[in-house]
């Protein structure tokens, strides 16, 4: 079992923050998710805990506001030290269609200028790489994706838009991602994904989990419209590949 | 059923929150002033999880289409039943056709209305708390019909409670946040000696404070945030996340409010003053 120097600190009256070295790394992320599984396993009496993983931290929130910090810290450290390799929760690579037509990719021409790359090459690079989900937050179903190639790093827009459409796929700094709902936003929009990343009517409202991977593929307008309808009526078949742990 | 004749400024249905979906980016939601909403529920011997109506600044006008019992707590907004003033922190009976309306805001910012059995709007992701796009609406609208139970007989164990005037307090108790050490000594002096003013940017997501306490260029990886987390922006602005606040953020989390202080802040409005008082873990 890999082991990192973790720190455990109180975070207000009902949360505990567990931190790993502040580096974006898949092995740290997987260690966090593995520890999170061990906590769920070892602390069955604490079913009212919520666990929020992101990049190099895991936040444990007790919805009953009953945390005894020093006792829990000790138990968590014991759990981290003594956990045994076990079958981790399944992780998936999700292949998501994106229509990069200029109608959706409203900043694609500007991005192509900033990066000194042709639009075709921007799309090629964006769809070629596989991104890891390092966190979900900001909006319900908004994924923080790591692994953007350096060539696609684009500064955030100086003036954010008041409304970015649902499904918009954007670039900002070292990040790429999909807006799960209409929202204000400062990312450069290069396309639109017809698949809803968040659906409050489903028991699991967001099929993506932290630790999963996402790869985009370019789709034309006709396919985009078809997938959009399939998503709306609930018959779209998500293209996923189970990842080896 | 309760019919909305006029929705007021911003009126929502809230229960004690939406738990278990923070790892999918779903805010916890729930009553901003949890203490006041709990008192309203307990006066009616409701469950702690029953949904109440959260009324912000200017109250609605509501018509009972069935008999019920209700209680009002939190901000004082001069409520009347059929034009006759009703006391807060007391159980009242409403008959079919009775109209509950609100007048002048006397103190506080958020008032709570509980009915016997709670408001029975749709449950989405295990909570009735309004939050778009998880619920269809972000606030109640004119002519909306809100389901409630019918109660003709009820003898409350406690007919009234002394109002706990804690929303007149202005001191917020704060723990060190994860990035507290970012503060310089000068910033700490400013933080704990000065009064801060609630900016006009204040809502269920976050309260911004007007006074700046010094810029910084600290960069961190996105990590979890909670209701009551105080973030420090690069420009030196303090932002206090509230119940609808985002579940993760990239700004340093310099302080964390005590739970009771979240309720105190929830009763503050634009221009009100607050102070920070440090407490130890």
The upper half-sphere exposure of residue A131, i.e. CA atoms within 13 Å in the direction of its Cβ, equals: 30
- Which of A11, A22, A52 has its CB closest to that of B247? A52
A95 and A74 co-located in one domain: no
Structure tokens at A225: 């419209």
Half-sphere exposure of B220 (CA within 13 A, CB side): 25
CB-based contact (8 Å) between B22 and chain A? yes
User: Given B22, B26, B248, which is nearest A61 (Cβ)?
Assistant: B22
Domain end, chosen from A27, A60, A82, is at A82
Report yes or no: A201 at the B interface, CB cutoff 8 Å: yes
On whether both A64 and A115 belong to a single domain, the answer is no
Question: Å from B156 to nearest chain A CA?
Answer: 27
Residue to test with chain A: of B122, B123, B221, most A Cβ within 10 A: B221
For B75, residues 6+ apart whose C-beta sits below 8 A from its C-beta are B55, B105, B106, B107, B108, B109, B110, B111, B167, B267
Same domain, A117 and A235: yes
Q: What is the CA radius of gyration of chain B?
A: 20
- Say what the pLDDT of residue B168 is: 73
Q: At what angle do helices B34-43 and B259-266 cross, to 10 degrees?
A: 90
pLDDT reported for residue A160: 85
The residue of chain B with its CA nearest to that of A36 is B23
Mean pLDDT across chain B:
95
Taking CA atoms, B74 is separated from B66, B139, B163, B199, in Å, by 25, 19, 8, 21
Q: Among A42-51, B14-23, B235-244, which stretch is predicted with the lowest mean pLDDT?
A: A42-51
pLDDT tens digits along B155-164: 988 878 877 6
Examine the domain organization and report whether A168 and A131 are in the same domain: yes
For position B164, what pLDDT does the model report?
64
Report the pLDDT value the prediction gives residue B166, as an integer from 0 to 100. Answer: 67
pLDDT score at A47: 74
CATH fourth-level superfamily of B169-278: Cyclophilin-like (2.40.100.10)
- Contact yes or no for A139/A213 (Cβ under 8 A): no
Q: What is the 3-state secondary structure (H, E, C) of chain A?
A: CCCCCCEEEECCCCEEEEECCCCCCHHHHHHHHHHHHHHHHHCHHHCCEEEEEECCEEEEEECCCCCCHHHHHHHHHHHHHHCCCCCCCCEEEEEEEEECCCCCCCCHHHHHHHCCCCHHHHHHHHHHCCEEEEEECCCCCCEEEECCCHHHCECCCCCCEEEECCCEEEEEECEEEECCCCEEECCEEEEECCCCCCCCCCCCCCCCCCCCEEEEEECCHHHHHHHHHHHHHCCCCCEEEEECC
Together in a domain, A114 and A235: yes
Whether A103 maps to a domain, the answer reads yes
Residue A51 to residue B248, Cβ atoms within 8 A: no
Say if A46 is an interface residue toward chain B (CB within 8 Å).
no
DSSP-assigned letter for residue B121:
P
Which residues form the domain of A121? 91-243
Q: How many domains does chain A have?
A: 2
Query: How far does B158 lie from chain A, in Å, by closest CA?
Result: 26
Q: Are residues A22 and A57 in the same domain?
A: yes
Q: What pLDDT score does A41 carry?
A: 87
Do A137 and A69 lie in a common domain?
no
pLDDT on residue A86: 67
Provide ipTM, 2 decimals: 0.94
Specify the CATH number for the domain of residue A42.
3.30.1360.40
Residues of chain A with pLDDT under 50: none
User: pLDDT digit string (tens) for B69-128?
Assistant: 999 999 999 999 999 999 999 999 999 999 999 999 999 999 999 999 999 999 999 999
- Beta-carbon contacts of residue B90 (< 8 Å; ≥ 6 apart): B43, B71, B159, B160, B161
Q: A118: which 2 tokens? A: 């042709």
In sequence order, the 6+-apart residues with CB closer than 8 A to the CB of B127 are B15, B17, B18, B19, B29, B30
Select the residue of A55, A139, A140 nearest B223 (Cβ to Cβ). Answer: A55
Same domain, A68 and A110: no
Question: What does the pLDDT look like over A82-107, one tens digit per residue?
Answer: 988 766 778 999 999 999 999 999 99
> Which residue, among A19, A40, A140, A177, would best test binding to B if mutated, counting the most B CBs under 10 Å from its CB?
A140
Residue where a domain terminates, one of A82, A116, A147? A82
What ranges do the domains of chain B cover?
Answer: 2-165, 169-278
Q: Do A10 and B281 touch (CB under 8 A)?
A: yes
Does A1 fall in a domain?
Answer: no
Do A71 and A95 belong to one domain?
no
Residues A200 and A119 grouped into a single domain: yes
Is A137 part of the contact surface with chain B (CB cutoff 8 Å)? yes
Q: Is residue A2 part of a domain?
A: no
Best of B16, B25, B228 to disrupt the A interface by mutation (most A CBs within 10 Å)? Answer: B25
Window 37-76 of B, Cβ < 8 Å to A: none
The predicted-structure confidence for B191-201, as pLDDT tens digits, reads as follows 999 999 999 99
Residue B156's closest CA among B45, B71, B64, B234? B45
- How many beta-carbon pairs under 8 angstroms link A with B? 122
CA-based nearest residue to B190, from B214, B217, B218:
B214
- CB contact under 8 Å between B223 and A138, yes or no, is no
The pLDDT value recorded for residue A42 is 87
- CATH number, domain with residue A157: 2.40.100.10
Whether residues A113 and A210 share a domain: the answer is: yes
A151 and A232, same domain (yes or no): yes
Residues on chain B touching A172 (C-beta within 8 angstroms): none
């Amino acid at each position: 079992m890999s082991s990192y120097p973790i720190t455990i600190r109180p975070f207000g009256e009902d949360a505990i923050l567990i931190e790993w070295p502040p580096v974006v790394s898949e092995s740290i992320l997987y260690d966090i998710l593995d520890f999170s599984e061990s906590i769920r396993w070892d602390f069955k009496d604490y079913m009212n805990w919520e666990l929020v993983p992101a990049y190099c931290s895991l936040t444990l929130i007790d919805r009953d506001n009953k945390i005894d910090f020093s006792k829990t810290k000790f138990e968590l450290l014991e759990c981290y030290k003594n956990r045994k390799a076990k079958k981790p929760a399944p992780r998936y690579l999700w292949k998501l269609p994106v229509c990069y037509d200029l109608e959706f990719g409203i900043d694609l021409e500007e991005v192509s200028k900033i990066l000194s790359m042709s639009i075709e090459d921007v799309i090629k690079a964006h769809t070629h790489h596989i991104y890891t989900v390092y966190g979900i937050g900001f909006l319900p179903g908004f994924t923080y994706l790591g692994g953007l190639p350096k060539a696609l790093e684009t500064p955030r827009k100086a003036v954010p838009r008041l409304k970015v459409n649902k499904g918009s796929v954007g670039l900002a700094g070292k990040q790429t991602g999909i807006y799960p709902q209409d929202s204000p936003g400062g990312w450069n929009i290069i396309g639109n994904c017809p698949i809803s990343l968040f659906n409050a009517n489903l028991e699991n409202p967001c099929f993506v989990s932290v630790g999963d991977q996402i790869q985009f593929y370019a789709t034309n307008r006709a396919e985009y419209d078809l997938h959009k309808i399939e998503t709306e009526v609930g018959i779209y078949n998500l293209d996923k590949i189970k990842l080896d742990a | 059923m309760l019919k909305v004749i006029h929705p007021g400024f911003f009126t929502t249905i809230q229960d004690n929150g939406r738990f278990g979906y923070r790892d999918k980016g779903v805010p916890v939601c729930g009553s901003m002033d949890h203490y006041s909403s709990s008192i309203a529920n307990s006066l009616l011997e409701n469950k702690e999880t029953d949904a109440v109506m959260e009324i912000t600044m200017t109250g609605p006008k509501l018509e009972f289409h069935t008999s019920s019992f209700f209680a009002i707590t939190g901000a004082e907004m001069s409520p009347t039943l059929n034009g006759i003033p009703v006391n807060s922190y007391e159980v009242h009976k409403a008959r079919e056709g009775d109209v509950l309306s609100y007048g002048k805001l006397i103190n506080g910012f958020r008032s709570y209305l509980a009915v016997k059995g709670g408001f029975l709007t749709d449950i989405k992701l295990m909570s009735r708390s309004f939050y778009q796009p998880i619920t269809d609406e972000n606030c109640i609208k004119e002519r909306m019909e809100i389901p409630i139970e019918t109660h003709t007989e009820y003898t409350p164990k406690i007919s009234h409670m002394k109002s706990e005037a804690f929303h007149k307090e202005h001191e917020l108790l704060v723990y060190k946040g994860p990035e507290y050490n970012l503060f310089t000594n000068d910033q700490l002096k400013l933080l704990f000696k000065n009064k801060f003013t609630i900016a006009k940017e204040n809502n269920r997501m976050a309260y911004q404070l007007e006074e700046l306490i010094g810029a910084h260029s600290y960069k961190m990886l996105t990590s979890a945030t909670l209701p009551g987390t105080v973030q420090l922006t690069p420009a030196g602005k303090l932002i206090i996340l509230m119940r609808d606040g985002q579940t993760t953020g990239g700004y340093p989390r310099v302080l964390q409010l005590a739970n009771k202080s979240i309720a105190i802040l929830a009763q503050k409005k634009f221009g009100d003053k607050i102070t920070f008082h440090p407490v130890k873990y």
